[in-house]
Structure 1
Amino acid sequence: MSILTITKDNFDSEVINSDKPVLLDFWASWCGPCKMVSPIVDEIANEISDIKVGKVNVDEEGELAQNFKIMSIPTLLVMKDGKVHNSTIGVQSKQNILNLLK
């Protein structure tokens, strides 16, 4: 499965109106911990077909980051039916991220 680049322009169609849960990774290119989480998120995207995975670059999508009150990155959100179902901040193990999706 491909990783979606989430922007304010495609947020409603890809996340709010998604028929699958969406794992959102809020990140930035300068963020060391984000670089540690990113390959894990990519792995999950390739292994689990019944979710969507999107990445939100907080430097380019400040409005989305503000809407979700993102104060620290990496922040992972699980969205279901247009609402935040689960979230975590900081570097997480693959198992912790998978547990968020349950």
Structure 2
Amino acid sequence: MAATNAYSAIEPTRSEIDVLTGPTMLEFGTPWCGYCRAAQPAIVAALEAHDNVRHIKVEDGSRRPLGRSFTIKLWPTLVFLRDGKEVLRLVRPTEEQAIARALSQIDPDPA
């Protein structure tokens, strides 16, 4: 799967996330966030080697239940899941290598 370009204004529910199978990266942020925009090249580049990873880009904000269920405080926050369970997270990542290492933990055999 390729990197998702747009933030989804309609977020999935936590119960939908919890039942996902396989590797998933949740990206919480907003299109107007400078940190989020600055992280995009590194996120996209890291995802290129991980076709098996589902990328869900969620527009976050106050009173948004999915972000609150993951206790998101800063954007962007990347939450790496395997079979609906959190393995690790990165807050305000800036380096492609850090994102790639995290992706390797949920997708050890990239396609």
What TM-score, normalized by structure 1, do the two folds share? 0.80
Residue identity (%): 24
Q: Secondary structure at the match of 2:26?
A: strand
Q: Is the 8 A contact 1:23 1:52 kept in 2?
A: yes
1:20 shift after superposition: 1.8
CA RMSD of aligned residues (A): 2.5
Distance, in Å, in 2 between the alignment partners of 1:92 and 1:61 is 27
CA contact (8 A) 2:47 2:100 kept: no
Matching residue's letter, 2:11: T
In structure 2, the residue matched to 1:8 is 12
Residue aligning to 1:82:
84
Q: Distance in 1 between matches of 2:24 and 2:72?
A: 17
User: Which residue number in structure 1 is paired with residue 70 of structure 2?
Assistant: 68
Aligned to 1:37: 39
Q: Give 1:9 deviation, angstroms.
A: 4.8
Aligned residue identity for 1:86:
L
Unaligned ranges ≥5, structure 2? 106-111
TM-score, with normalisation over the residues of structure 2?
0.74
Q: Number of residues paired by the alignment?
A: 100
- Corresponding residue SS for 1:30: coil
Structure 2 CA distance, aligned partners of 1:76 and 1:38? Answer: 12
CA distance in 1, matches of 2:80, 2:63: 18
